Every structure is written in C-alpha cells, then in structure tokens.
Amino acid sequence: MGAVVLDVGMSIDGFWAVEYGNSIFPVDEMHDAGLIAPLVLRTGAVVMSRRSFEMAEDPDWFARNYEYQVPIFVISAAAPAKNPAENGCISFHFLPDFMTALAAARKACGERDVMIIGEASAAQAAMASGEVDEIYLRLIPRIVKNGIPLFDGSANNRIYRRTSVTITPEATHLHLTAH
C-alpha cells in the first residue's frame, strides 16, 4: 500500500489563506521548479476538500487541465448539481467525511500514494486521523495576520523528521516523513 501524503502551504504566521479565503499556495512556482511532477507520478488517488474543488470556476477544468489525472475523492456532504467532466483517468466521488474519502482513495489507488490536497479542514482532518505518512509543507515567507489557520491543534502526536528542503523565491518546501 502506498503512502498517505499531505501537500499544504502555510504563511510563516500559520495561515493557509488570507482572510477572504484565497490560498497562498505557490502553485505556479512549484510547476516552474519541477516540484509537482514527481508527486504526480507517484499519486494514484487524490482526497480533496470541497473548497479546493470549488476553486475552479468551471468544474470541467479538472478533466482538461489538472495535473493529477486520477480518481478524486471530494470531501462533501453532497455532490454538485452537475457532475464534473471525467475522461477515463480522472473521476469524481463525493463523500461525506475525510475517513470515508481516505478509505475509498486507498482502495482506488492500489500500491500508489494517496495525495491529500485542500484547505485547512482537509489538512486538519488528515492530521487528526494519524494516517499521514508524509507532509510537503510549503512555507511562504509572508505574514498574513488575519486569515484561515492551517492547523487547529487537533493533530495527533505522530512525529515527523525533515527528509529534504528545497528553497525557491516564493517558499521553503519542507518534506517531512513520519518517524
């Protein structure tokens, strides 16, 4: 079975988004630096928060553009009125809570990894579950002051060790592995 991997971004004062909800995750820079491609290759399924799913103005965007062309399990009390486009690689499943979504993603991905992507609620649920084997923490050198905190104190006591550090102009990318 593959690893459960959490990929998140956070300001140096602990926020994943500014107060009006826009993520500070440095996606474009990560593409330019070649940091996303290795993750895509090892990922067999994605667990995503509903908020992250809704960040795409058109849900059909995922089938044409999203780097993770794998089954996506969206944590959501209900599916959207219109199911997003699927293409034979990417499929969407809307499940009521993190643990249900994680179990379905593990079943779908075989030996590959489950990537957890999303905003604070997904990260908090993942960390509280104790199931996260690796964390890619994108530390953005910015003070947000008033936003949405990434972690809420519900994480379990699992210990992580720094495996690698990559520095780009917009972030310090820490790779942490459970000990």
Domains of the chain (ranges, CATH numbers): 4-178 (3.40.430.10)
Q: Which pTM does this prediction carry? A: 0.93
**Tens of pLDDT, residues 161-179:** 999 999 999 999 999 999 8
Neighbouring C-alpha atoms within 13 Å toward the C-beta of 91: 10
**Tens of pLDDT, residues 21-78:** 677 777 888 888 899 999 999 999 999 999 889 888 899 999 999 999 999 999 999 9
The helix or strand, by DSSP H or E, that contains position 50, with its residue range, turns out to be helix 50-54
Cα–Cα distance, 44 to 114 (Å, whole number): 6
